[in-house]
Amino acid sequence: MKVLTAAQIRRIDQQTIDAGFPGLLLMENAGQRVVEALETLGKGAGPSFGRKRNPRGAGRAARSHRRVRPLHEERIVIFCGKGNNGGDGLVVARHLLTRYKPASLRVVLTAPREELTGDAAANLRMFEAHGGRVETGTSPDMQAATLLVDAMLGTGLEGPAREPVLSFIREWNDGFPLARRIAVDVPSGLGSDGLSAGGEFCRVDGCVTFTAPRPCHVLPPFCDACGEVTVGQIGTPESYLEEDPEFHLSLVTPERLRFLARPRDKDSHKGDYGHVLVLGGCRAKPGAAGMAGLAALRAGAGLATVATVSSATESILGVAPELMTAALAETAEGFIEATALDGPLGDELLRGKTVLAAGPGLGVTADTRAMLLSLMDGPPTPLVLDADALNILALESDWPGDGLLVLTPHPGEMARLMGISTAEVQDNRVGKARELAIARNAMVVLKGRRTLIAFPDGEVWVNPTGSPAMATAGSGDVLTGTIAAMLAQHPSRPKLAVAASVYLHGLAGELGAEEFGEASLMATDLLRFYPQAFARCAAR
């Protein structure tokens, strides 16, 4: 699903109007999509994403008064501004008045009525023609409202909200104790492009946006402020989105991952699903490489071999008997020797491997550095690098190799790779991930809240799944093995393979948090929920 900035959506809307689709009809369709969403938003139904249900029902008591009622039972207040967002709100009001006849319906204009122009003014006249009334301020009896609709500012805001709308935003936030709160497009006062507008904004339970989500709907820190988000189609041709010259941001959705649901050929065998080689581990840290290998098997690879120091192979076999191991020469300190992959032994080990994954538990030494760079300079087998492999690359200005390369840094590793501070990475996650992917001709999986997947062609995909429960040792090692397994099984679609890995890994974290809670989930627990995560994608 594409993610569009305010400028892009304005350009696409105008292109739609210029092609003969009246703006008044776009507004009519937008209002209808909001009404449809009001019937479902909050029930967990419909094509939505965003705020997830709290594990084990936490916070249920605090939200019990905000249940979703049938629209004819709701006491509704709609705040409408003077622009197109307000026009959308007036369409919502007209449809609620004529089709649902709610228990009460109040429409509050946040600007003098004479300031409404164009399609917004036309919809004000239509609402009043059907017997609707508008008010220019709130009254004490409105505090009993059970549903608020924010149609004040929308995506056109530049800078912080100003009076008179600012006073309405404050009243929205401070009053209406019984109300479920839904914004049209984006919460008023919030910067739609994922940047702070520098002021106060409406606190909402959900948003109904149109054509495509905006950056604020999918990127931290404001994606949480948008709540559950539903995207409605209002008549813009899909081709206009595809043709937009500035498009580069997208959201990973289950619909993109339907290929995971395809059944395996009845005559298939383990060799059909790839052989992953995990290179890592040391005497003190054998478990990281073992978890990556185990994840590769659980994610569907036909075969997985863990190549590690000879003193660690027994520990690896203790992780899972299904794993194969290869004992490598080690230094006195217990790290892989620089020449461990040289000669016939290395040739035999690398032969027939579909994907290589390196880094978990590897250690950063002169020997591991030489070994990794030699590996990258070898035959162009797809390579997934994590942990110490990334720390080794951060020491190099020129990277060898020209094959498919996947980097999986957390923000600290990303900062080292780029020679900047972690704060600089976090302040511009999309831009920095995109910059590194283009500069290094690599896929970059920047881990964290809403993990990003950046590609060498400049596209950046946002992953919506995940849980704070995944902030635990080994979680990244499991992701490394998962990515390697997906690339091994789906070599013709590397973008989707990496995106599917991140999505499934995050979804397993959500499912695990529901079972174990956010504090008790361990990395290996994630693998227990991979079957459910696969099934969820197959069901979409």
The three-class DSSP label of residue 407 is strand
Is residue 253 in some structural domain? no
Is residue 263 in some structural domain? no
Task: Examine the domain organization and report whether 161 and 307 are in the same domain.
Answer: no
Give per-residue pLDDT as tens, 470-524: 999 999 999 999 999 999 999 999 999 999 999 999 999 999 999 999 999 999 9
Contact yes or no for 396/373 (Cβ under 8 A): yes
Task: Examine the domain organization and report whether 238 and 325 are in the same domain.
Answer: no
In this prediction, residue 42 carries a pLDDT of 58
Alpha-carbon gap, residue 186 to 49, rounded angstroms: 14
Section 445-449 average pLDDT: 96
Is residue 377 in some structural domain? yes
Q: Which two tokens stand for residue 48?
A: 């939505």
Task: Examine the domain organization and report whether 226 and 353 are in the same domain.
Answer: no
Task: Examine the domain organization and report whether 168 and 283 are in the same domain.
Answer: no
Domains held by the chain: number: 2
Residue 540 vs residue 57, higher pLDDT? 540
Q: Which of 51-55, 293-297, 346-350, 361-365 has the weakest average pLDDT?
A: 51-55
Alpha-carbon gap, residue 386 to 280, rounded angstroms: 10
The three-class DSSP label of residue 478 is helix
Task: Examine the domain organization and report whether 233 and 134 are in the same domain.
Answer: yes
Residue with tokens 């896929």: 443
pLDDT at 112 over 90: yes
Gyration radius of the chain's alpha carbons: 27
Record the pTM: 0.90
Percent of the chain with pLDDT over 90: 79
Q: What are phi and psi of 151, to 5 degrees?
A: -130, 50
Is residue 254 in some structural domain? no
Task: Examine the domain organization and report whether 214 and 292 are in the same domain.
Answer: no
Is residue 423 in some structural domain? yes
Average pLDDT of the residues of the chain:
91
Is residue 31 in some structural domain? yes
Q: Give me the CATH number covering residue 312.
A: 3.40.1190.20
Give per-residue pLDDT as tens, 276-285: 999 999 999 9
Q: Identity (one letter) of the amino acid at 222?
A: F
pLDDT at 48 over 80: no
Is residue 329 in some structural domain? yes
Give per-residue pLDDT as tens, 388-404: 999 999 999 999 988 99
Section 221-245 average pLDDT: 88
Task: Examine the domain organization and report whether 34 and 128 are in the same domain.
Answer: yes
The residue out of 211, 244, 277 marking a domain boundary is 244
Residue 198's pLDDT band (cuts 50, 70, 90):
low
pLDDT at 53 over 50: no
Is residue 85 in some structural domain? yes
- The two counts, helices (H) then strands (E), for the chain are 20, 18
Section 217-224 average pLDDT: 90
pLDDT at 37 over 80: yes
Residue 115 vs residue 156, higher pLDDT? 115
Angle among Cα 201, 207, 209 to the nearest 5 degrees reads 115
Task: Examine the domain organization and report whether 135 and 199 are in the same domain.
Answer: yes
pLDDT at 54 over 60: no
Give per-residue pLDDT as tens, 68-93: 789 999 999 999 999 999 999 999 99
Residue 42 vs residue 121, higher pLDDT? 121
Pick from 404, 397, 395: nearest CA to 376: 404
Give per-residue pLDDT as tens, 56-72: 333 333 343 467 789 99
Angle among Cα 375, 376, 382 to the nearest 5 degrees reads 105
Residue with tokens 């190799």: 401
The three-class DSSP label of residue 490 is coil
In this prediction, residue 58 carries a pLDDT of 35
Contact yes or no for 360/281 (Cβ under 8 A): yes
Q: Determine the structural domain holding residue 349 and report its residue range.
A: 268-539
Q: Give me the CATH number covering residue 161.
A: 3.40.50.10260
In this prediction, residue 196 carries a pLDDT of 58
Task: Examine the domain organization and report whether 235 and 309 are in the same domain.
Answer: no
The three-class DSSP label of residue 225 is coil
Q: Which two tokens stand for residue 463?
A: 């992953």
Task: Examine the domain organization and report whether 228 and 278 are in the same domain.
Answer: no
For residue 470, give Cα distances in angstroms to 172, 403, 409, 434, 508.
Answer: 35, 30, 15, 24, 9
Q: Which two tokens stand for residue 405?
A: 């390369």
Task: Examine the domain organization and report whether 214 and 293 are in the same domain.
Answer: no
Task: Examine the domain organization and report whether 477 and 509 are in the same domain.
Answer: yes
